[in-house]
Structure formats: structure tokens, C-alpha cells
Amino acid sequence: MVNEDPNQQERDGTPSQSALGENPSVSAHPSVSAHPSVSIHPSVSVYPSSSAHPSTLAQPSGLAHPGSSDPEDLSVIKVSKRRWAVVLVFSCYSMCNAFQWIQYGSINNIFMNFYGVSAFAIDWLSMCYMLTYIPLLLPVAWLLEKFGLRTIALTGSALNCLGAWVKLGSLKPHLFPVTVLGQVICSVAQVFILGMPSRIASVWFGANEVSTACSIAVFGNQLGIAIGFLVPPVLVPNIKDQDKLAYHISIMFYIIGGVATLLFILVIIVFKEKPKHPPSRAQSLSYALASPDVSYLSSIVRLFKNLNFVLLVITYGLNAGAFYALSTLLNRMVILHYPGEEVNAGRIGLTIVIAGMLGAVISGIWLDRTKTYKETTLVVYIMTLVGMVVYTVTLNLGYLWVVFITAGTMGFFMTGYLPLGFEFAVELTYPESEGMSSGLLNVSAQVFGIIFTISQGQIIDNYGTLPGNIFLCVFLTLGAALTAFIRADLRRQKANKEAPENKLQEEEEEEESKPSKAPTAVSEEHV
């Protein structure tokens, strides 16, 4: 397999560790099978089996990964300083895309009057994000595996930039189809963005940083939604003069177009495919087990045979779908009870998302410290349900400040749950592609988001906000119950732990290599 260069520490100037063990004398072989769905359990011997495909074995000279021309030394575990720049740039263009998702819904009534269309038509400017994701997930996930992170990042940020500039051609009331076209382009860009957080975290960050990194990546998307609630009501006032209204809308479109362009340039400069060395033993194993001959569809089949993951897909979809529906319809619900409060409706949305961002970061740090994925996910889900019930009861009391408090409490848990779902999915499905597991979670979210948005919108129009919110409470109750049945099969954590067999092998090799401490080489007979 691969051996650590005994002079590596001297060259790099920083301590490093073996890809498969803490002791540099270990010569471990992480290929129990050529099948990528193998769970790397600490109790499993990690010597190469005779059935393993040659392409699954990392060679001593390094292993090339799809999407990169430079082979990396899998024997060295070291994090890259560039990782923070990568996740920050991703977080920023994800923020820009999320802003464009909600910028119409947060001032729903103003765009209805400007374009002379129904509330349902404006709702579709948000729901098109959900609709386009479903058929495009599999092609984009395939592109991620085929061409790698940098290509997907460039494509997503370029489409986001293009969609922002197309919208500038829709500043007349009769040009509603043009704004729809721009929004559809942005929705396609979203497909290249939503499934990336857990993949970036795994590829660039160490074992004790992945959950925090994933939270930061999701943080950007939530910040974009927050700004989308706050800024449009300020930039676009509710006035009758169509020319002045078009002017204010153009200011918003020009600002977002400029920001999207700047972020696209930063992606070109900053974003790299992956670091020189794998940042964790689990990632090193993932590279070693990767095979270009593996069937893409077989990976999807294996994911759906994983009952714990299937349950998580359903529960994540119910939670995120409820959040999408609430975000899309929030302006309409607040205006029904508090007429003329468009700005405060946006501020309530901002409160929900800001609280959720705080919840996401706290939960990410908590997971890195405790690794209690099942317990944390269940507690957060139950508290989301409690927050939704309290928000439902207090919305129509007539006290806007109470709505701010209850909506913020609900948001802390509801949107704070999103990175938890991503990271829990990676743990349950390792070493399958993070892009695929995250993508399937997002498909579930989009499906339930469309169903909940249309259904709750119709219920609100016909029966009021209380029955509409009770509708969401029922499904959140179902999600909390199903979460309790998910078993915490933390495969990635097991891969990051040193196997007992490796410890025994260390002792044997140390005895054989005395007095020399140099790592032993893998013989050709082993392979």
C-alpha cells in the first residue's frame, strides 16, 4: 500500500501522520473490497483482498483522483491553509444565490402589482428553485464525480452571475417572462451549490473540523436568505408610480449582478480541486477505495438500500420543506395579520434565518466535539416542532414583537437542523460520495418544499394562517417520530479510528524492524 516517507516531516517542517494509523511504522492496506459501499469498521482487517480491483489500491507513488492531474501522497495526513479561503468563497456565492431565491417572495405584493400577476405566479419564482433541482440532481452529481469540485464551483457561480444580469432585462411590467428566465438560470446554478457543503468539508477539512466547516458552508446560504428578507423591502418601497418602482428594482438587480460577478472572479482565483494531502484518514481511505470502474447507478441503489439513510432523507425533506414553505409564504402571512408591515415581515424572516445560522454554527461545533449525531438531530427536530407550534399560536395575537421572539426561536432549531442532516448523512453512507448523499437530501427537501408551499398557500387563501401552520406541524411531528428510528451507524467516525488489528500489526512490525524505526515497505507478494 502506501508508506509514509520518513523524511516528510523534515521537508514540510510540520508533523504528519500515517494515512491509516497514528504510528509511522504502520504499513496498513485499506482495501477490504473494491466495492465502495464497504463500511470500514475498526474490527475489519484492512489487508488487500485477492478480489480487490487493482484500481482500488493506492500505489506507493500516490493515487490520482478524478478531476485533478496531480497525484497526492495518501500516506501524509495534513490540512491545507487554503481550506478556509475555499469554504469562505463557496459560502459567499451560495449566499448570493440564496438571496436571489427569496428576493421576490420577501416583497411578494410589490412584484404582484408591478408585473400585474397573481400571488401564485410570484410564488413560482421561488418554487422554480425547488422544481429544477429534482431532474438535474443526478446529472450534476455525476459531473461532480467526473470533473471534481472546481468545475462544479465554476459552473455554479457562472450561472448565478448570468441569471443576475438577465433579470436586468425585466424592468418593464410586460417583461415578467424575462425575470422568470433569469430566475430559472439562477435555480439551475443552485443545483451546483446545494450539495457541496459536506463534500467541501470532507475534501478540505480534518476529522475534528468537518462538521464546523459544513456549518460554515451552509451558513452562507442561510445568510443569503436573511439578506433576501431584509434588503428588498428597504430597496424597493411599495409605491404606485411604475417608473419609480422600476428604478428601485433596477438598483437591487444591479447590486446583485455586481456582487455575483465579483464572486465568480474570486472562484476562478481561489477555488482549487483539492489539497495536496488528504486532511483525514477517512478521506485517505475514500481516495484509496475510489474506483473509476464503479457503476454510478449502483451507488444510488446502495444508498436506497441503507434504511437509516432513507429515513433521514424523509425526515430531512419534511423539515427543510417546511422551512421553504414558511420562507416563501411569510410575507403573505404577516401582511394578513399586520397590514402595511412589509418591512417588518422581512425583518421577521431575517430573525428566523439569523437565529438559524447561530443554531447551525453551534450544532456544527457541538458535533465536532461530541460526535452525538443521532441524539443531537433528534433533540433539534423535537425543538423545531415545539417552536413551530408556539409560532403558530402567537402569530395572530396582534403583538408583532411576540412574533419576532417566537419566529426566532423556531428558526434557531429549524434552519439550524440543515447542516446536521448533511453531516449525519455522510456518516451513515461513508464512503459513498458526499455529493450524492447531500443531493438526495436536497431532492427530498425540494419535493416536500413544493408540496408544502402549494398546499399551505391554498389553505391560507381559503381558511387562514392557523390551519396552514397546523398543516406543517403535523408533518414535523411525523418527521420527529421517524428520526427516533434512525440508528447511529457512524461509518466515517469508525474509519477515522485506529483499528485493533493495526495496533497489533504495529507491535509486530516494531519487533521485526528493531533497532530501525523506519517504515516497512509493502512487498509485491502482498499486493
Helices (runs of H) and strands (runs of E) counted in the chain: 20, 0
pLDDT of residue 1: 42
Residue 210 has pLDDT above 60, yes or no: yes
**For the residues 5-34, what does the mean pLDDT come to?**
40
Report pLDDT digits (tens) over 27-61: 434 333 334 333 344 333 333 333 333 333 333 33
Residue 138 CB burial class (10 angstroms; 0-12, 13-18, ≥19)? middle
Closest CA to 19 of 74, 60, 99, 100: 74
In the chain, pLDDT over 90 holds for what percent of residues?
23
Report pLDDT digits (tens) over 306-360: 898 999 999 999 999 998 898 888 888 888 888 877 778 878 888 888 888 888 7
Report pLDDT digits (tens) over 56-94: 333 333 444 444 434 445 566 777 778 888 889 999 999
Domains 80-276 and 296-496 share a fold: yes
pLDDT of residue 520: 38
pLDDT of residue 181: 95
Residue 434 has pLDDT above 80, yes or no: no
pLDDT of residue 52: 37
Q: Which three cell numbers stand for residue 443?
A: 431532492
Question: Which architecture does CATH list for 80-276?
Answer: Up-down Bundle (1.20)
How many other CB atoms are found less than 10 A from the CB of residue 401?
Answer: 8
Report pLDDT digits (tens) over 356-408: 888 877 887 887 787 788 888 899 899 999 999 999 998 888 888 888 999 99
CATH no. of 296-496 = 1.20.1250.20
pLDDT of residue 499: 45
According to DSSP, the residues that pair with 77 across neighbouring strands are: 17
Report pLDDT digits (tens) over 249-304: 999 999 999 999 999 999 999 888 777 777 767 667 665 655 554 556 777 788 88
Residue 22's pLDDT band, with cuts at 50, 70 and 90, is very low
Place of cell 422600476: 246
Report pLDDT digits (tens) over 450-495: 899 889 988 988 888 889 899 999 999 999 999 989 887 777 677 6
CB distance 203 to 283 below 8 Å: yes
Which residues have C-beta within 8 Å of that of residue 53, sequence separation ≥ 6?
34, 291, 293
Between residues 307 and 201, which one has the greater pLDDT?
Answer: 307
Q: Which three cell numbers stand for residue 276?
A: 495536496
pLDDT of residue 257: 94
**For the residues 228-235, what does the mean pLDDT come to?**
87
pLDDT of residue 75: 61
pLDDT of residue 167: 93
Residue 24 has pLDDT above 60, yes or no: no
| 3-state SS, residue 21 | strand
Residue 243 has pLDDT above 80, yes or no: yes
pLDDT of residue 295: 56
Domains of the chain, residue spans: 80-276, 296-496
Residue 126 has pLDDT above 50, yes or no: yes
Q: What is the CA radius of gyration of the chain?
A: 25
pLDDT of residue 313: 92
